[in-house]
């Protein structure tokens, strides 16, 4: 029944198709009057908006942010390292194919076999699909066991995240041995990709949690707004600045097999939107440290103006409050620490909440907020350093609750012919 | 604290802004160096893709389907009919404004008041936003009580849905006294609209459940595919055929205040995608009754070919199996019954399932499938008639589970100056 068994008899493409396209095959064209349809489907989807999968770095990190994202974490079930490697190889091939707008697998199947691609993205464009893989602490050591003989290769920087002040983490939205983030400009393309990768993991890794998200770029360009209605990401380091990315995002020589990779920290941050929406605009701006309409730092006129952390008003109070989010997360307040944020808003419907205060937090509330995603060269001097301060001092915590959390080492990009994470396994016995 | 109190002092637009646009005001431009920003924001969002809110019919029914949808159901908390009417008036004004790409409410607020629009769609386009309102059975009679003196106005056609064979309904995803479906080509625009409408219901109606969905039109046009990888909606009556819509979708003279309205039935249908993906392509096609690649009825060459329900193969078996979905749902098999489907795929992450069979339905599975939405002139001769047959005979039930369900009477469109559902309240005392 497995859809990724390379030895299923009769799956040779030639045997069924001759010269017809593999796309048409995987879509299940053969038989039952499907000849005309096969011709129509034989043209691959438009590839105009393709993000290359192979390269020095993985895609989906400094890639111009797509509108839709799915982040999935997996528990490894395999007992053998070889099974993990085989999965990474299958994932690599499929991710590359799908990033080009192709089906996950190239093989034809007869009518009496399950299709090797479910076909739910048939006819859709590549949509700048990126697939970003990550390795969680559990790949190296799980419940004190070195399941795959990889413990000695665990990067120092892949620390377990500490418990932060105020964390209200829910186990079923945390952690994972492996991660996949799929981003695309089309939600159906993104879901198709994740689902096909999921099927390829059958028997090796089980999905643990999944989080969808969206972000909508303004019509005229510029910074996107989050669900708080504020521009979000103004102070992000520029992905067009290669030197900056080398400094902030990409692991350098210190990283061994992780060189040219990056570490991702994700946090599912529920925002009490009902509470926020009842809050005075002036207070909202003090919480954020910026003007709501323009995004300018308080006391400044333009979004791109630098924060003036020393500015005082006539009474000698700081113009940007001491506990404002923008101040506390600024590099200048964190010994220069920076991270590359690549967050998505999420909306998971409604759930029942019963909290004592404020009074309207009794009953059905939106389960919506920010799926925070941050890449960095070293989480110890990146997210962890910054969030230790935010978790204790940020006045925004009055409106936000961290309910999900995970950290993954995202290896460098794969070279064509190789596979994601190959460097991790180099030189290991057996 | 209420964001919809028309009597909040000092909210007159002129008082704060003079000639500046209300958009800029609602976005919170006043004060703190916001003058330049006010100028920038004074231009309304691009309105090029606007679906008009006012009209004979409500939008979002025969409107060309947008890519994103949010469907929300509400429980009424109000004790007075007047409060319900006031809510519908607020919703009408806000829905019209937002469909034009404007903020939900026009009033300026000073820094020391909560913004009357959260601002999360600021800078985004109208995105063909439609807002479609519905009235559930509970508006007319709830727990045997005629709360609003409307029981005598309940349309005959607004029946409670019967229990169908195989239903596994979850109470927290069913029913509701009021409904709002928001559709747009941008997920953030859709969520903004729903959230602002939610805020306007404060104290009158409480959200009960919400379902998001997506659909992606093929690059070259044509029928979209669902998560089963099949084209879905081929046999839908054409929304461009006004006569057909009058016959199938719009309530006629028989409906009293519901004339020119329609009835919507929604069903949250979980699809066992892991099971489906392991199923032979030939069997998938027999389940659906169509070719997977082309969408053609079995035995035919083209998607648009009519189903030949009488066709037999050499052995005298029906070419389209007796229990195929396309056969059982065809008008010819249901005394001509037709509905207008306007479904969205959904993906709500993963959940734990433990079923005895098949064996892989133990553990984490996708909570994904189809949010089925169907409009009709009369659900008794529409969805109910068709689904009674499907629920007992459709072989597709092996892969699908109905977990959510609701029915609503969607009143006709509002005339400018009036409000949604005005006809329902006409001539009532007090």
Could you tell me which chain A residue has the CA closest to the CA of B188?
A216
pLDDT over 70 percentage in chain B: 87
Residue A5 has pLDDT above 50, yes or no: no
Q: What is the mean pLDDT of residues A397-412?
A: 97
Q: What is the mean pLDDT of residues A207-219?
A: 96
Residue A317 has pLDDT above 50, yes or no: yes
What is the structure's pLDDT at A154? 98
Q: Do B227 and A368 touch (CB under 8 A)?
A: no
Residues 6+ positions from B24 with CB-CB distance below 8 Å: A293, B17, B37, B38, B39, B41, B42
Residue A299 has pLDDT above 50, yes or no: yes
Structure tokens that stand for B299 in this block: 């035995």
Compute the nearest-CA separation of B11 from chain A (Å).
13
> Which residues on chain A are in Cβ contact (under 8 Å) with B298?
32
Name the residue facing B46 among A32, A35, A219 (closest C-beta): A219
Compute the nearest-CA separation of B246 from chain A (Å).
32
Q: Can you give the pTM of this predicted structure?
A: 0.90
What is the structure's pLDDT at A389? 97
pLDDT tens digits, one per residue of A79-115: 999 999 999 999 999 999 999 999 999 766 778 888 8
* Cis peptide, bond prior to residue A289, ω within 30 of zero: no
Measure Cα distances from B202 to A361, B107, B111, B205 in Å. Answer: 12, 18, 22, 6
Q: Do B32 and A298 touch (CB under 8 A)?
A: yes
Q: Do B293 and A29 touch (CB under 8 A)?
A: yes
What is the structure's pLDDT at B364? 86
Residue A178 or A107, more confident: A178
What is the structure's pLDDT at A107? 63
Do the Cβ atoms of B404 and B169 come closer than 8 Å?
yes
Q: What is the mean pLDDT of residues B76-96?
A: 98
Measure Cα distances from B246 to A9, A318, B100, B132, B156 in Å. Answer: 54, 65, 27, 18, 19
Q: What is the mean pLDDT of chain B?
A: 88
Cα–Cα distance between A33 and A16 in angstroms, integer? 15
Could you tell me which chain B residue has the CA closest to the CA of A35?
B301
Q: What is the mean pLDDT of residues B57-68?
A: 97
Residue B387: pLDDT band (50, 70, 90) is very high
Could you tell me which chain B residue has the CA closest to the CA of A216?
B188
pLDDT tens digits, one per residue of B169-220: 999 999 999 999 999 999 999 999 999 999 999 999 999 999 999 999 998 8
Q: What is the mean pLDDT of residues A257-286?
A: 96
Residues 6+ positions from A41 with CB-CB distance below 8 Å: A21, A23, A24, A27, A29, A122, A123, B293, B294
> Which residues on chain B are in Cβ contact (under 8 Å) with A296?
33-34, 37
What is the structure's pLDDT at B246? 98
Please, how many CA atoms are within 13 Å of residue B371, restricted to the half-sphere of its CB? 22
Residue B8 has pLDDT above 50, yes or no: no
pLDDT over 90 percentage in chain B: 82
A357 touching chain B per CB within 8 A: no
Residue B35 has pLDDT above 80, yes or no: no
Mutation pick from B112, B119, B290 vs chain A, by most beta carbons of A within 10 Å, is B119
Residues 263-322 of A with CB under 8 A from B: 273-274, 276-282, 284-285, 291-296, 298-302
In Å, how far from its chain's centre is CA A317? 39
Residues 53-72 of B with CB under 8 A from A: 67-68, 70
Do the Cβ atoms of B318 and B395 come closer than 8 Å?
no
Residue A3: pLDDT band (50, 70, 90) is low
Q: Could you tell me how many helices (H) and strands (E) chain B has, helices first?
A: 12, 9
Could you tell me which chain B residue has the CA closest to the CA of A217?
B124
Residue B219 or A154, more confident: A154
B26 touching chain A per CB within 8 A: no
> Which residues on chain A are in Cβ contact (under 8 Å) with B29?
291, 293-294
Q: Could you tell me how many helices (H) and strands (E) chain A has, helices first?
A: 12, 9
What is the structure's pLDDT at B26? 36
């Amino acid at each position: 029944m497995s859809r990724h068994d390379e030895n299923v008899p009769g799956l040779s493409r030639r045997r069924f198709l001759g010269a017809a396209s593999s796309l048409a095959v995987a879509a299940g064209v053969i038989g039952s009057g499907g000849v005309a349809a096969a011709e129509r489907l034989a043209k691959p989807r438009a590839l105009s908006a393709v993000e290359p999968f192979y390269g020095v770095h993985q895609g989906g990190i400094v890639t111009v942010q797509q509108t839709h994202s799915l982040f999935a974490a997996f528990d490894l079930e395999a007992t053998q390292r070889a099974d993990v490697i085989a999965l990474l190889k299958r994932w690599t091939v499929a991710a590359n194919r799908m990033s080009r707008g192709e089906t996950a697998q190239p093989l034809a199947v007869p009518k009496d076999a399950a299709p090797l691609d479910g076909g739910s993205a048939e006819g859709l464009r590549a949509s700048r699909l990126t697939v970003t893989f990550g390795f969680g602490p559990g790949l190296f050591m799980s419940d004190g066991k070195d399941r795959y003989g990889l413990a000695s290769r665990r990067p120092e920087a892949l620390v377990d995240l500490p418990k932060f002040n105020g964390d209200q983490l829910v186990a079923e939205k945390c952690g994972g041995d492996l991660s996949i983030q799929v981003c695309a400009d089309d939600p159906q393309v993104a879901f198709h990709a994740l689902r096909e990768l999921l099927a390829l993991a059958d028997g090796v890794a089980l999905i643990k949690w999944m989080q969808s998200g969206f972000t909508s770029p303004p019509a005229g360009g510029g910074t996107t707004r989050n669900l708080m209605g504020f521009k979000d990401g103004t102070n992000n380091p520029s992905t067009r600045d290669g030197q900056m990315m080398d400094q902030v995002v990409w692991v350098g020589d210190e990283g061994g097999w992780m060189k040219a990779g990056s570490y991702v920290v994700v946090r599912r941050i529920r925002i009490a939107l009902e509470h926020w929406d009842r809050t005075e605009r002036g207070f909202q701006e003090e919480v954020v440290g910026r003007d709501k309409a323009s995004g300018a730092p308080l006391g400044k006129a333009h979004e791109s103006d630098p924060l003036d952390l020393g500015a005082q008003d006539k009474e000698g109070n700081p113009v940007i409050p001491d506990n404002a989010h923008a101040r506390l997360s600024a590099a200048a307040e964190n010994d220069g620490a920076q991270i590359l944020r690549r967050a998505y808003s999420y909306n998971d419907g409604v759930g029942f909440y019963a909290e004592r205060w404020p009074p309207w937090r009794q009953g059905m509330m939106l389960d919506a907020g920010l799926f925070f995603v941050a890449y960095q060269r070293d989480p110890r001097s990146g997210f962890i350093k910054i969030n230790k301060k935010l978790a204790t001092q940020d006045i925004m915590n009055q409106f936000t609750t961290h309910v999900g959390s995970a950290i993954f080492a995202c290896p460098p990009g794969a070279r064509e012919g190789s596979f994601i994470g190959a460097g991790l396994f180099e030189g290991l016995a057996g």
